[in-house]
Amino acid sequence: MTSLTHLNENGEAHMVDVGGKTETEREARAEAVVKMLPETLKMIVEGKHKKGDVFAVVRIAGIQAAKKCWDLIPLCHPLMLTSIKLHIEPIESASKVRIETVCKVAGKTGVEMEALTAASVAALTLYDMCKAVDKGMVIEQVRLLEKQGGKSGRWQVEG
């Protein structure tokens, strides 16, 4: 196992110096899954929510979150993201919504946190928009699916 990069030799938190790293194309994929009542999902899919197009707001929230990741997570570097995409998939048979995010950058540090932040905030926005009709919604998971680029190369979740 490698050591934690955000701690210095005295165990103090610090921002990693990436100045000497080579710029590479980097990409990360993450997902969030939100479980809800079947009636809630039906209302969203059919566009009958009083607040409007839920998935459009969720997508914009995820994009904004990725762009502001450095402002939310203390030791993240500000990145000039080249692409942020959200795919929102209603899974009616399981009464769930799956949100997949993909973030890209040509830079000196990875975009895993941006993809995870986008997925997290998108799921929270979905909850916020629908909490009046379904307070029991559950954000079941937020996880990294894949990252590529940089010194460590490619990593993908198993299964």
| Distance from C-alpha of 32 to C-alpha of 70, rounded to nearest angstrom | 20
> Helix, strand or coil for residue 17?
coil
- Supply φ then ψ for residue 27, to 5 degrees: -145, 145
- State both tokens at 82: 């080249």
| Burial degree of 128 (CB within 10 A; 0-12, 13-18, 19+) | middle
Which residues are known catalytic residues? 128
